[in-house]
């Protein structure tokens, strides 16, 4: 019956237990969803199936026979293909070469270029309309946008033509049209009798495409059920275990009439209606009513004033941010939200315009100057912007402290104490300060990165999709923390790829379109409907947007 | 927006610098562009060109080989000693050449195992093997000076069908470069150099690919040694050590990134020619001997900077 069965899989990295007793069975012709908070062991389990990680214990059975998978080559030979969350692309090679690389067509030792082109063309075809500008078989991967790179990784996995395909968060950077097309492809694969493992942090996607779900908690499989027999609440309860009380607000969400709400179940209904939003803020101990906040924002001098900022991906962006305010940047993917944050932080050059922080001109020419001025930048792209890979957690926690205090010599004792304090404020789970940051899960790595900024609290916190690839429970914790920091007087600029996060947490929403702020939503206007309308609205009402700020 | 010209042909800036150097040489001494001068230049620098091509194989995979010069020296003395011992007849000369190539290949495999299989740091491991190979060379031939047999250097300096032998060799090298550019070995090496973990996860045999890179590097270092032996017509155990860093400079001048993943062998060959022409330009300008090193070093720096500036501008 089952094509591939994993029983009692365990894997340790030094003191960190990645998997303790994981089970999974895969049937032909199903999409099997793997759920679990970050650090629960999903990715490790996938890598074990794909042969890039070897288990310490447990059994793998392929069509009734016990097997071991020694390497990715071995897995490929058996008919197992994988989409890696962190991508496995060769940066300087072209799209076609990347797609063809694992099974390179060779004629007499020479690369068969026509064969490579054919192979790539077959995989690109289904995504041709949704891949976007600048995508093509001869484009080097380094030229592509993140969503396009993710599509290449998907195509590379699909090109393996494997009987078991594993997709570890394949949709995290994709837009709606790309995801819809990908799901069409998945349904086709399912109809061909292939077994698909699918991981996503978006609940709506899981219920849309999945047949069965297996929930992993702390490296142990706790439940497997058909998705038609379970519910969002049930899955989340399984994921968080006895701490199921984390999200009382989510309980009534299953009955919510809104079909789009589910991506953040904790605040699902709150997201739709700012009125219901209020209790969530109460719990976090901040102002319930957004109206007075805007009032005092206009009477006191703004903390951050941005004037006419223009750059490669920005067009004349102006706005103000008051102390204690959370301003969110919304809109479709890549409309300049990230560029604004990076420009303010000095990581991307501005051609015109500038900013003032607490009345003084802000030097936005380098991140170093921005940090000294009191800005903090947390990116969802931990690999590029956050984690100092292969270095201990301590070293990952203190660099900003070092810079801000202009320290030259490190005294491990006092530093460790400060680091521990900041890490525990975020409830970071780690084995010890000397362990490598790589030993932590994505969510805990992100906490370390955030803790780095909190040793000396900044004036303005710039959050660039900070919860990308982080599990639901950690997301809730992070936003509670962000609201607490704002309540203490920090100004927060938040960009998130999840609209629900924006709706649930922002005092004001600046909607971006083509590098401009096309609309500002405040107070009662902050509804999902308005946000979508503004995001998609590139039509006749857009031109006067220049004055919107 | 497909690949830019520079991504397709990373050696273009190097080609431009080469053209400028050719022009400067012509201005300084019109005879330097004559047939005889060019033949002499190729004859002298064929060894460095091959050494740069050899170095490219490992640099593509983000590795490095500091022992290419030592391999060259070891093969040089081994070949000369074998030829001498065998009496210098044609079959002996051919046999010695084959033996030399195999020695180079073996050295490369040793490097590959040390770096890829034993996972030692490439810079330190190949530095250590370079001392080892030099030590071997010194036991084979303790003092420089044993002459190569006459038929050998006569052939190297001679002509076939009225075309100088060195031009034939250059033609064969260009053919090999064209072949390798399309061969999966190079694509594998570039993929490994691009991102070693990604290559492993894509199912590529990373360790085997890196060892293959070092083996090819050793083999081409041996071919460089055969050319050098033809040019100098004698054995010298320490002849290659100074050439190692020149080979790396040539690779970089040719537009190949030391971080791996991108580059071209033709670029490395052009890089070697740039170094050659800088040398001859310094000579033709009549630079006093005590100033020659200084001027040559400054010129290489300028060439490097020009290459970087051109690439940066084009990429933008």
Listed residue (A108, A191, A193, A117) closest to A159, CA to CA: A117
Q: Residue A498: helix, strand or coil by DSSP?
A: coil
Q: How far is B2 from chain A (nearest CA, A)?
A: 5
Say yes or no for a CB contact (<8 Å) between A102 and B202. Answer: yes
Measured at the CA of A210, the angle between CA A208 and CA A211, to 5 degrees, comes to: 125
State what percent of residues in chain A have pLDDT above 70: 83
pLDDT of amino acid A372: 85
Say yes or no for a CB contact (<8 Å) between A110 and B203. Answer: no
A contacts of B175 (beta carbons < 8 Å): none
Say yes or no for a CB contact (<8 Å) between A90 and B1. Answer: no
pLDDT of amino acid A265: 39
Say yes or no for a CB contact (<8 Å) between B183 and A111. Answer: yes
pLDDT of amino acid B316: 52
Listed residue (A256, A254, A238) closest to A246, CA to CA: A238
What's chain B's average pLDDT?
Answer: 89
Chain A residues near any Cβ of chain B (below 8 Å)? 50, 52, 71-73, 75-76, 82, 84, 87-94, 97, 101-102, 104, 106, 109-111, 113, 134, 136, 138-140, 143, 156
Give me the CATH topology for the region A256-374+458-549: Rossmann fold (3.40.50)
The residues, any chain, with a CB within 8 Å of residue A369's CB and separated by 6 or more, are A346, A363
Q: Residue A140: helix, strand or coil by DSSP?
A: strand
B183 contact A CB<8A:
yes
Once rounded to an integer, what is the mean pLDDT over residues B203-222? 94
**CATH 3.40.50.300 is right for the domain spanning A4-246:** yes
pLDDT surpassing 60 at residue B73: yes
What's chain A's average pLDDT?
Answer: 79
pLDDT surpassing 90 at residue B213: yes
Half-sphere exposure of B122 (CA within 13 A, CB side): 19
**Which of the residue ranges A89-93, A295-299, B200-204, B228-232 would you say has the lowest mean pLDDT?**
A295-299
**Which of the residue ranges A101-105, A240-244, A538-542, B189-193 would you say has the lowest mean pLDDT?**
A538-542
* Distance in angstroms (rounded) separating the CA atoms of residues A252 and A274: 16
Q: Residue A26: helix, strand or coil by DSSP?
A: strand
More confident: A132 or B100: B100
B44 contact A CB<8A:
no
pLDDT surpassing 50 at residue A543: no
* Distance in angstroms (rounded) separating the CA atoms of residues B13 and B8: 12
pLDDT digits (tens, 9 = 90+) for A333-392: 678 888 999 999 888 888 888 888 888 888 888 888 888 888 888 887 776 677 777 788
Q: How far is A3 from chain B (nearest CA, A)?
A: 22
Domains A4-246 and A256-374+458-549 share a fold: yes
pLDDT surpassing 50 at residue A212: yes
pLDDT digits (tens, 9 = 90+) for B289-300: 888 888 888 988
Q: How many CB pairs under 8 A join A and B?
A: 81
pLDDT surpassing 50 at residue A291: no
Listed residue (A472, A543, A414) closest to A36, CA to CA: A472
DSSP per residue over chain B, as a string?
Answer: ----HHHH-TTHHHHHHHHHHHHHHHHH-GGGGSHHHHHHHHHHHHHHHHHHHHHHHHHHTT---TTHHHHHHHHHHHHHHHHHHHTS-HHHHHHHHHHHHHHHHHHHHHHHIIIIIS---HHHHHHHHHHHHHHHHHHH-SSTTPBPPHHHHHHHHSEETTEEHHHHHHHHHHHHHHHHHHBHHHHHHHHHHH-HHHHHHTT--HHHHHHHHHHHHHHHHHHHHHHHHHHH-B--TTTTTTHHHHHHHHHHHTT--TTSS---HHHHHHHHHHHHHHHHHHHHTT--HHHHHHHHHHHHHHHHHHHHHHHHHHH-
**Which of the residue ranges A314-323, A423-432, A452-461, B84-93 would you say has the lowest mean pLDDT?**
A423-432
Give me the CATH topology for the region B5-315: ABC transporter involved in vitamin B12 uptake, BtuC (1.10.3470)
Q: How far is A19 from chain B (nearest CA, A)?
A: 20
ipTM over 0.90: no
Say yes or no for a CB contact (<8 Å) between B191 and A93. Answer: yes
pLDDT digits (tens, 9 = 90+) for A215-236: 998 889 998 999 888 887 788 7
Domain range list for chain A: 4-246, 256-374+458-549, 387-457
B5 contact A CB<8A:
no
The residues, any chain, with a CB within 8 Å of residue A100's CB and separated by 6 or more, are A115, A116, A119, A120, A159
The residues, any chain, with a CB within 8 Å of residue A415's CB and separated by 6 or more, are A394, A398, A401
pLDDT of amino acid A145: 84
Q: How far is B214 from chain A (nearest CA, A)?
A: 19
Q: Residue A222: helix, strand or coil by DSSP?
A: strand
Say yes or no for a CB contact (<8 Å) between B179 and A143. Answer: no
State what percent of residues in chain A have pLDDT above 90: 23
Chain A residue with Cα closest to B257: A92
For residues B293-309, one letter each, b for 16 or more C-beta atoms within 10 angstroms of the residue's C-beta and e for the rest, the string is eeebeebbeebbebbee
């Amino acid at each position: 019956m089952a094509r591939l069965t994993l029983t009692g899989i365990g894997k340790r990295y030094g003191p960190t237990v990645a998997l303790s007793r994981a089970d999974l069975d895969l049937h032909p012709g199903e999409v099997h969803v793997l759920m679990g908070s970050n650090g629960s062991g999903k990715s490790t389990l996938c890598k074990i199936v794909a042969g890039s990680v070897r288990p310490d214990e447990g059994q793998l059975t392929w069509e009734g026979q016990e097997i071991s998978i020694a390497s990715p080559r071995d897995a490929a030979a058996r008919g197992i293909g994988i989409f890696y969350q962190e991508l496995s692309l060769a940066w300087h090679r072209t799209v076609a070469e990347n797609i063809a690389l694992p099974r390179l067509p060779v004629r007499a030792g020479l690369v068969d270029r026509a064969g490579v082109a054919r192979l790539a063309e077959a995989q690109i075809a289904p995504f041709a309309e949704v891949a976007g500008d600048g995508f093509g078989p001869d484009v080097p991967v380094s030229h592509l946008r993140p969503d396009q790179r993710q599509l290449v990784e998907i195509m590379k996995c699909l090109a393996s033509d494997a009987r078991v395909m594993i997709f570890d968060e394949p949709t995290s950077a994709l837009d709606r049209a790309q995801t819809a097309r990908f799901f069409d492809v998945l349904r086709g694969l399912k109809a061909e009798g292939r077994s698909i493992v699918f991981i996503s942090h978006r609940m709506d996607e899981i219920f849309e495409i999945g047949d069965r779900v297996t929930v992993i908690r702390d490296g142990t499989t706790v439940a497997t059920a058909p998705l038609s027999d379970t519910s969002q609440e049930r899955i989340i309860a399984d994921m968080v275990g006895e701490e199921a009380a984390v999200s009382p607000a989510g309980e009534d969400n299953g009955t919510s009439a809104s079909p789009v709400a589910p991506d953040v179940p904790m605040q699902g209904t709150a997201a739709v209606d700012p009125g219901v939003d209020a209790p969530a803020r109460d719990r976090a101990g901040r102002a319930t009513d957004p109206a007075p906040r805007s009032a005092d924002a206009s009477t006191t001098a703004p903390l951050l004033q941005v004037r006419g900022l223009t750059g490669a991906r920005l067009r004349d962006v102006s706005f103000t941010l008051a102390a204690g305010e959370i301003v969110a940047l919304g809109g479709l993917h890549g409309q300049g939200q990230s560029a604004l944050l990076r420009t303010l932080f000095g990581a991307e050059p501005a051609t015109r315009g500038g900013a003032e922080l607490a009345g003084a001109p802000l030097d936005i020419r380098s991140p170093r100057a921005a940090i000294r001025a009191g800005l903090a930048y947390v990116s969802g792209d931990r690999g590029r912007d956050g984690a100092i890979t292969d270095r201990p957690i301590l070293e990952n926690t203190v660099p900003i402290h070092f810079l801000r205090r202009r320290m030259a010599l490190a005294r491990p004792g006092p530093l460790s104490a400060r680091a521990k304090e900041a890490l525990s404020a975020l409830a970071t789970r780690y084995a010890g300060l000397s362990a490598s940051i790589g030993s932590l899960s994505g969510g805990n790595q992100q906490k370390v990165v955030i803790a780095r900024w909190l040793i000396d609290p900044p004036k303005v916190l710039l959050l660039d999709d900070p919860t990308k690839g982080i599990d639901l429970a950690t997301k809730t914790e992070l936003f509670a923390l962000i609201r607490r920091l704002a309540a203490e007087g920090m100004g927060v600029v938040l960009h998130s790829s999840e609209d629900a996060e924006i709706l649930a947490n922002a005092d004001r929403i600046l909607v971006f379109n083509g590098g401009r702020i096309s609309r500002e939503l405040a107070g009662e206007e902050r509804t999902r409907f308005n946000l979508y309308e503004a995001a998609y609205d590139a039509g006749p009402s857009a031109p006067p947007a220049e004055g919107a700020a | 927006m497909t690949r830019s010209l520079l991504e397709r042909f990373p050696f273009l800036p190097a080609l431009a610098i080469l053209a400028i150097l050719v022009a400067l040489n012509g201005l300084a001494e019109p005879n330097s562009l004559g047939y005889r001068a060019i033949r002499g230049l190729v004859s002298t620098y064929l060894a460095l060109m091959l050494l740069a091509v050899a170095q490219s194989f490992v640099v593509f995979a983000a590795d490095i080989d500091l022992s290419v010069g030592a391999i060259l020296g070891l093969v040089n003395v081994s070949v000369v000693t074998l030829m001498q011992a065998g009496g210098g007849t044609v079959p002996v000369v051919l046999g010695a050449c084959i033996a030399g190539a195999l020695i180079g290949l073996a050295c490369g495999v040793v490097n590959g195992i040390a770096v890829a299989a034993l996972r030692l740091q490439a810079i330190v491991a190949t530095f250590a093997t370079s001392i080892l190979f030099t030590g071997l060379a010194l036991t084979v031939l303790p003092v420089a000076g044993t002459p190569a047999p006459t038929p050998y250097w006569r052939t190297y300096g001679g002509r076939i069908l009225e075309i100088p032998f060195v031009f034939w060799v250059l033609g064969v090298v260009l053919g090999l470069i064209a072949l390798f550019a399309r061969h999966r070995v190079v694509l594998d090496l570039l993929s490994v150099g691009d991102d070693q973990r990604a290559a492993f996860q894509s199912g590529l045999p990373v360790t085997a690919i890196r060892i293959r890179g070092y083996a090819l590097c050793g083999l081409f270092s041996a071919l460089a040694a055969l050319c050098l032996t033809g040019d100098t017509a004698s054995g010298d155990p320490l002849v290659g050590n100074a050439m190692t860093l020149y080979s790396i400079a040539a690779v970089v001048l040719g537009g190949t990134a030391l971080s791996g993943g991108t580059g071209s062998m033709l670029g490395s060959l052009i890089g070697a020619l740039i170094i050659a022409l800088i040398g001859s330009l310094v000579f033709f300008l009549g630079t006093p001997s005590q100033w020659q090193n200084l001027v040559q070093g400054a010129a290489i720096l300028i060439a490097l900077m020009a290459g970087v500036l051109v690439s940066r501008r084009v990429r933008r």
